[in-house]
Structure 1
Amino acid sequence: GAVLTKSFVCLPALIQKFQDGRDVNQGPGSHFEGVERELMQLTWEPVGYNGPSLTGYSLCPTDAEVPREALSFHGDATGAQVHLDDLRSTAHRRSTFHDGIVFSQRPVWPGERVALRVLRHENGWCGGLRVGFTRLDPAHMVGSCLPPFVCPDLEEQSPTWAALLPEGFVRAGNVVCFWVNRRGWLFAKVNAGRPLLLRKDVLVQGAPLWAVMDVYGTTKAIELLDPKANAWITGGEPVPEPEVTSGEECVICFHNTANTRLIPCGHSHFCSSCAWHVFKDTAKCPMCRWQIEEVTVVPSLKTEEGS
């Protein structure tokens, strides 16, 4: 298979470019047709990856038909420790804390909610469920070749964007929904709470997106739900970018007021106590896993707790 960099994630656009050049400048049988055939045979093979071969990963054409049946988990493209029920609505991680990657069986529209319930929580691990979107079509994946983690492994190997959910989101019984809007902003919320902005760099143009979830760490089992069953899941469009306000609670302790901003990623959902604890412990943002270079107190929200 050919080796492609992440900038070449929309093969149909490249093919169209060659087709346009052929139609304008060349006649039938030109070398453009040969290039077109060669492009159609390319597969995604990440640069510098030394793990199992990912030959067979492919990107769905831009104009692919997108069915709208209820979401379920894809039956074949699953992590090594994942067990699905017969309806493919429940995903359970058998053992360890990793190899729990699962995908939706069909592409997800921008703005469409992916709703799930956390069924089981397992103590003894650090971190829990990760959610996001990918341009990889699970129908063309080999489950045994999936990496152990969606963050950072699958993100580094493919056009995938995911984030770790805060600890308070992934307690057993919680209903979590996540979605990406047309601007490429990834949001999540728990139960009927406020939307939380996870990241702002998802590429939503040029190819369909499948939902990806990693049943990781403390999250032992999840169940996909029908968003229509809960009005709070489908309501609330358009969603504004969440900003730190004087009434927003820290998403780690759910007690103190969020009054800090992490540099350079800019996430601002933490109190100063939790933010400094994370900075000293891992120096990685709990939302996007970017390296933290500095913790700043939001001037308008300075409190006794953060001063």
Structure 2
Amino acid sequence: MSRLPGIALSVLLVALLPACSRHDAVTYQGYVEGEFVYLGSSQSGKLKQLSVTRGQTVAADAPLFSLESDDESHALVQARQQLAAARAQLTDIQTGKRLPEVDVNRAQLAEAVAHARKASLQLTRDEAQYSAGGIAKAQLDDSRANADATAAQVRALTSQVEVARLPARSQQIVEQQAQVAAAEAAVAQAQWKLDQKRVTAPAKGLVYDTLYREGEWVPAGSPIVRILPPQNVKVRFFAPETVLGQLTPDRRVTLHCDGCAADVPARITYVSSEAEYTPPVIYSNESRAKLVFMVEARPSVADATKLHPGQPVSVALQ
């Protein structure tokens, strides 16, 4: 009877040893890595306002910083005024002459019609007088020439009235439309440059660092804020060549880290196609065990905030 507890303890130890071995066999060392987003402006300028601090979590579209933008604001106002002028000129040439100008042409036409009617009546009288021998041939010729001249003037003024009602020639309209399009492009460019002086967060994330202080001059393209969106957190670990066939994209793994309240689930997203370490010997059955391959896994967005770049982790395959 006294040997039963000892036998039971021996069986329990034997049962635990394979479990521990299996746990050690599928556990690999790795570390947390962050794909940081470096945010700056395409325009240079003095840093006017820094709206975030290091360690702060910001929402998408939250303001991060702004540069001085007086020149860009003035350029935008100028471009908008030039666009308004170009559009007004296009409208003017599309509608033809103004109504008062048309009225002047009509009055001139009415006067010319009256002169032509008078000259026509005078020609009729002179023709009768010439037939009766009352006037010389030269006087009749003068009357006929005056009647022809006044009639021609009526025709010319009639054409002017019709032209005054028409818009400008099609070539002039096309040219002015091009001027309007160029002015619109100038406004868009000025607006874009102004917008570049105010930068917002492209996504929710942790402000990992700020690289300039307010009042400092920032060259174009220099990053000012470095943020880490949770979807950019990943884990890199190294697995031996012997388990390479088991490492497939979307396979589940478990991440264990010191200080974590619980293990973090993740999924494999990438498996390197090349060995990270090659021994300086000819491949053999013994040396192949020294080959390791880099594997990347990503936790969910909700769990990513539990991990920190540079943090060592243990990875267990599921």
The TM-score range, normalised by the shorter chain, is: under 0.3
Structure with more of its chain in helix, by fraction = 2
Answer with 1 or 2: which has the greater Rg.
2
Q: Which has the higher contact order (CA 8 A, sep 6+)?
A: 2
In the superposition, the TM-score normalised over structure 2's length comes to 0.18
